Chains A and B, each alone.
Chain A
Amino acid sequence: MKTHALILSAALLVFSCTSFPEIRPLEKMRRSDAVLRCTSVYPRKSFRAVHTIDASMPMGKSSSMMGASQVDTKRRTLRAVLVSIEGLTLFDATSTRGVLRVHRAIAPFDDMDFARGLINDVSLVLLAPAGKLEKLGEDSHGRLVCRYAGADGSRLDLIPAVGSSSTLVRVYDPDAVLVRTAEFFDASGPLGLAKKVVLRAPGLVGYELSLSLLGAEPISFHDFATTPMSEN
């Protein structure tokens, strides 16, 4: 019993000691320049894109599909459609500033928690952070970091690429536990989109999504307005 209590106390101590990674202040760089560098992997203009998605799930399971997305950067509206290799639409949903509308979902994609998680993951890859820019600085490796604070106490760190390196996004929950990472490789796609993005959800039931860009093009507000969404 004593041993259990000791382990529990140690575990609590470890968790209570968890804090967001340290960011040292930057003096030389202007705030606007830093933000511009941090968010360079996200197109400024609205766009549509098509990716292949390779998912690695727990227990060694894997799945591949195609994803089409339409992003209105100003209104922070995202429509994401998942398509099976055989061409069947598995999932179709729109998120406007976090409000989700599911247009079509075929099992196992018909679970609302799953839908929310999916849209959050797609948003992380395609939309610049929505939170308030809390800190700018450099991490322990001397890399520029832009830290955004979410309304729920979560934090999102954006570490832009230097030279041929990849851009990193790290999301921490309010307890400073790392819950998502996204790595953007080769930002030479149309509109500066990364040709490959690897998103990871760590943990026992963690997963990895590898997105490869097939194509992208800019769109106008008019395009969004003329694509009414049918409810299936």
Chain B
Amino acid sequence: MKIKFGIVVFPGANCDHDAYYATKKVLGYDAEFLWHKEPDLKGSNAILLPGGFSYGDYLRTGAIARFSPIMDEVIKFANSGGIVIGICNGFQILLETGLLPGIMQKNINLKFICKDVYLRVENKNTLFTKLVDKNVIKIPIAHGEGNYYADEKTLSELEKNNQVVFRYSDSKGDVTPESNPNGSLNNIAGIINKEGNVLGMMPHPERACDTALSRTDGALIFKSIAESIYK
């Protein structure tokens, strides 16, 4: 089956071209930009909500983008089992849609953080991580509001169902308070929905695909998605 990533372009998105470059130019999959005002997924078999600052992050991150015309189609696609990955602002938009639970608060140190982080891969049995062949991956983060919060009940559900896919850790995979860059509860960096077809993550895998950038762990996630579509 042909693999086509549909990359949604919101006003204020700024990682859409990075995502296009990573999936199409580096990894060789088909990719197409999807303008947020056109409710048409154009035959994509994976939807990527990119990072950035949709609608200027006004009101709350992702709050307005969530009601962009294309989002009804994305939600339908997700509810019928389609693969959706939200990266950074894309994750925040998924939280606003309710496809994933919880919210993002401002980073606990009140700073915008842009740096490489280590992630312990907690669940390799997902559509997004099946080809990840190591326990710790290195991927950059770049956000001001990535401090994941959910109420106790939601959090224990996430943990019980193995929905926490990535956790901030040190290079050895130890999950410590020091390796938590933003104050996220349980060092959460990425979660999946119960059904397993929607992933939200704050780190940017699209910025870790090209060997020229000396980090390639992000490619494992896109390769896993492609592998999942083949099957």
| A pairs with B | no
User: Which residues of A approach B to under 8 Å, CB–CB?
Assistant: none
